[in-house]
Amino acid sequence: AALSTYGGSKADRRAASGFFRTARSGARWWLVDPEGYPFIHVGVVNTTFPKGSGSASDWAATTTDLLHAHGFNGTGAWSDTELLRAAPHPVVYTRMWNFMGAYGAKRGGTYQQSGHLGYPQDCIFVFDPAFVAFCDDYAQRLASTKDDPWLLGHFSDNELPFYTKSLDNFLKLPPSDPGRVAVDEWRAARRTAHPAEAAAAPFTDEMRQAFLGFV
């Protein structure tokens, strides 16, 4: 099928909003490109300019042309989006922000693991009282691309530790830790709403999944 400016399929069309959005068709959800066409993002991560290898703008022009020629319509995380967006034939892009990682760097307590940051007992700092205000301030950076139709969306973070045993892990935190306080309050409320669970030793997988939803 013919493709739209952004790489969407012209075999079907919905209302155009001027930006990427989602729409449901029967039992299936679709990305819809700014022109209103169903879109499947076929992107490449780590599309970055090799420093010291000539003109950055020439690299961006050549790279985007190569991506188009080989059937790709976008880039993923950790790419040189500013360079690629300025190319004559740009591709759809995403942005990586690392809200939790940036907060952890400011707060302290994170450490580097293979491929991602580590947190105490694999417990992110989502219950810290200061985290909400940090996010409100940090999110102002997203405004720089709010009017760009080539922006598919944002990654808030990468590979956060949402494990089945997160409930168990949060209970290993010190009693005064905001994460421990939150899980203690959650357990108390859960026992009131589901008294039969009070006898569960120690937790059921249903309880663990419910806690992940709370986190």
- 128-169: per-residue pLDDT in tens? 999 999 999 999 999 999 999 999 999 999 999 999 999 999
pLDDT at 114: 84
Which residues in 52-170 belong to E strands, given as ranges? 74-75, 93-96, 111-113, 116-118, 151-155
Q: What is the mean pLDDT of residues 192-198?
A: 79
- 86-129: per-residue pLDDT in tens? 999 999 999 999 999 999 999 999 999 887 899 999 999 999 99
CA atoms of 191 and 97, how far apart (whole Å): 37
Q: Is residue 77 part of a domain?
A: no
Same domain, 211 and 199: yes
Q: Is residue 42 part of a domain?
A: no
Same domain, 182 and 140: no
Q: How far apart, in Å, are the Cα atoms of 5 and each of 154, 189, 190?
A: 21, 51, 51
Q: Is residue 120 part of a domain?
A: yes
Residue 121: half-sphere exposure toward Cβ, Cα within 13 Å? 15
Same domain, 101 and 155: yes
Above 80 in pLDDT, residue 63?
yes
Q: What is the mean pLDDT of residues 177-195?
A: 92
Q: How many structural domains is the chain composed of?
A: 2
**CB within 8 Å of 138: residues ≥ 6 apart:** 97, 99, 102, 103
Above 80 in pLDDT, residue 33?
yes
Structure tokens at 211: 């806690």
Structure tokens at 122: 């694999």
pLDDT at 202: 77
pLDDT at 160: 94
* CA nearest to 155, candidates 202, 106, 99, 111: 99
Residue 185: domain span: 163-215
CA atoms of 72 and 81, how far apart (whole Å): 15
Same domain, 150 and 183: no
Same domain, 143 and 183: no
Q: Is residue 169 part of a domain?
A: yes
Identity at 140, one-letter amino acid code:
Q
Above 90 in pLDDT, residue 13?
yes
Q: Is residue 190 part of a domain?
A: yes
Q: Is residue 154 part of a domain?
A: yes
Angle, helices 205-214/178-193, rounded to nearest 10 degrees: 120
pLDDT at 70: 97
Q: Which of 161, 176, 205 is the C-terminal boundary of a domain?
A: 161
Q: Is residue 54 part of a domain?
A: no
Same domain, 175 and 156: no
Q: Which of 161, 178, 203 is the C-terminal boundary of a domain?
A: 161
Confidence band, pLDDT 50/70/90 cuts, at residue 200? low
Confidence band, pLDDT 50/70/90 cuts, at residue 43? very high
Same domain, 124 and 136: yes
Q: Is residue 8 part of a domain?
A: no
SS3 162: coil
Same domain, 116 and 155: yes
- Average pLDDT over the chain, rounded to whole? 94
